[in-house]
Chains A and B, each alone.
Chain A
Amino acid sequence: MLQTVLSGLESGSWFALLGLAIVVVMKAADVPNFAMAEIGLVATYVGTVLNAAGISFWPAVVVTLVIGTLLAIVIDLALMRKLAKHGHFPLLLMTIGLSLALNALIGLIWGHEPRSFTAPWSGNHLDVGGLDVSWAQVVTIVVGALGAIGITAFFRSPMGAQMRAVAENRETARLIGVNAGRLSAIAWGLGGLIASTAVMLQAQSTLVSTHSAASLIIYGFVAATMGGFVSLFGTFAGGLALGIIQQVVGTYISTSAQFAVALLAVFLVLMLRPGGFTKGMRLRDV
């Protein structure tokens, strides 16, 4: 059981991070980004290619993160910016179209076979009181938690406060001099950074592919939904809870039911608690 929970916390951290990436963009730019997992996957694949070409691990990680960040910023500037005034529908469609195109493009360039991003610690294990803990799990859970704390801190900084102001009322924020366009690019960049981190963490522990990205985005949305798309804490906790539920379902029921359970979870949460689980619990929208 504890072993199951541990694996749940690990995959839950990926979901939570991707959910946070979605929420960050949602908060500042008001776009539900269905292409987030693919952005992370593109970056991670570039990392694996560099790694395979003999570039050592840490420089490859840095390049991966930079590429994820830049790719997201470019998408915001080139595709999203002009559509903002037309409302949600075109923006939503744009990210859906983008995710389809990026996913297929990755398949075209790198194929659909799963890949991994081997880290120096990959394959190493610890024995903690009979519990088999892999270093990959430790790294994922720690980075996930640090990431969540970092993002929360960011939203309390002056720039984060500006983003929350834009989220609350874009026009008023601009009237008093907040540069909403710049903030939206920053939020996209931050989202891309977090998403590449999530996919990279997944890849150093297991295999990733165009298929895993397609389900990861759904899990990310589940996590974001649990936080009502505003609460960072709710999203993080929701992601971890989803990871644990997934592992429990996979271990005790069937792995083929995992995806359906996650989907039903989104639907039920939205139906029953459209504001997310932490609504009413939070003091501020952080």
Chain B
Amino acid sequence: MSEPGRATATTTHTEDPTMVTAGAEAVTEPSAHAVGRTKGLVAVVALLLLFAAPFVLNSYLLFVLNLTLVYAVATLGFNLLVGWSGQIGLAHAALFAIGAYGSAIAMEQGVPFLVTIPLVGLAAGGLAVLIGFPAIRLTGFFLAIATLALGMAIVELLKGARAVTGGGGGLNVEVFTLPGINGSASTYFVTLAVAAVAFFLVRRSLIGRFGRTLQAVRHLGQLSGSLGVSALRYRLIAFGLSGFIAAVAGSLYGQLQTFVFPAMFEMNLLVPMLVMVFVGGAGSHWGPLIGAAFAVVLIELFQDLGDLQAIAYGVVLMVAIAVLPGGLVSLFATFRDSRLVGRLLARRTASERSEVRA
């Protein structure tokens, strides 16, 4: 118990960018190698377990797991924008829709599904950069409202362009299958692979200079309100990356649902997406996974309840914010900072330090 326990406790500390205050740095970075190795091991085991899922789970549970992974990828992009770069861009559901629709439409034109994934990613990433170009100069709710409006306009466009998108009626999605494997398992394997790669790459880049710069830009933005050119460039990159990831997730979503229609991508998607970012903890690494799992369970619990589901979403979002303005992940931080745990940890880190030195 002590090994994984320690891994969580120490990693969340370095991971939560809101915790980076004066003096906080000094407490961490104990035996980074050992922690890294444990974490690598945990990740590999988790991945193997997930890989085995289609062989052990029934089709309903597999769908739920698949949906969780799709949302986790989408949230990974959203979190990059909202949590890490601190920009409340609300066109994410629409960019997700572009991925779903774009992939389906490209497949109708004969493009293989696996090729459509990077294609829609690039298209949506490019669009996000275009949106971002003027938008990054806006801050706070101005940005939120501009991007919200644009996102809604994109969905309206999907409704309007009947010839291509089927309008409000929706569009059938051709399902991709791996040779020798059935449809839902194929979709799942592709999702799993994409999710693993996405989480790996995003985490790697966020741990490094890119993540630190994004945080710095975010804090600068809060302090001064006006930013230099290079800071704006980073905001733009965050926009583009989050758009790319949103569309990739959207293409997977299309495969999973096999049928898409505009009403899927309105507020009823954006609010859960916000829930996922928020519950997971804005600006954390594994928050998107936690948030997505939480939201999918909620969706499934309140399925077919119509208004009750919407109420549940609204209320859960409100309660989550009221109780934990820092998201679920902040629970770990609170736990870690509580006296007893803090003392235990301090002792352990101290002994680890001496070990490292020795």
Contacts and interface: CB of A to CB of B under 8 A. Distances in A.
Contacts of A88: 88, 140-141
B150 A263 contact: yes
A92 B313 contact: no
B308 A108 contact: yes
A103 B307 CA distance: 8
A221 B141 CA distance: 11
B310 A101 contact: yes
B141 A270 contact: no
A92 B144 contact: yes
B346 interface: no
Interface residues of B, number: 42
B4 interface: no
Interface string A248-284: 0000000011011001101100110010000000000
Contacts of A104: 306-311, 314
A210 to B, nearest CB: 9
B138 interface: yes
A98 B153 contact: no
Interface in B90-147: 134-135, 137-138, 140-142, 144-146
B313 A97 contact: yes
A46 interface: no
B104 to A, nearest CB: 22
A165 interface: no
B308 A271 contact: no
Nearest to A78: B322
B317 A271 contact: no
B146 A266 contact: yes
A260 B318 contact: no
A146 interface: no
A120 B157 CA distance: 41
A102 B317 CA distance: 13
Contacts of A82: 322
Q: Is the interface of B mostly helix, strand, loop or mixed?
A: helix
A92 B88 contact: yes
Given A101-B313, A108-B311, A96 B135 contact: no
A270 B143 CA distance: 8
A104 B274 CA distance: 18
Contacts of B62: none
Given A100-B267, A266-B146, A270-B146, A92 B317 contact: no
A97 B311 contact: no
Interface string A99-119: 111111101100000000000
B153 A108 contact: no
**Most chain A Cβ neighbours within 10 Å, of B135, B282, B318, B321:** B321
A90 interface: yes
Given A96-B317, A263-B150, 20 more contacts: A82-B322, A92-B141, A94-B321, A96-B267, A97-B313, A98-B318, A100-B311, A100-B314, A101-B310, A104-B307, A107-B307, A108-B307, A218-B152, A221-B149, A222-B149, A259-B156, A264-B150, A267-B146, A270-B145, A271-B134
Interface of B: 82, 88, 134-135, 137-138, 140-142, 144-146, 149-150, 152-153, 156-157, 159-160, 222, 267, 271, 274, 278, 282, 306-311, 313-318, 321-322, 325-326
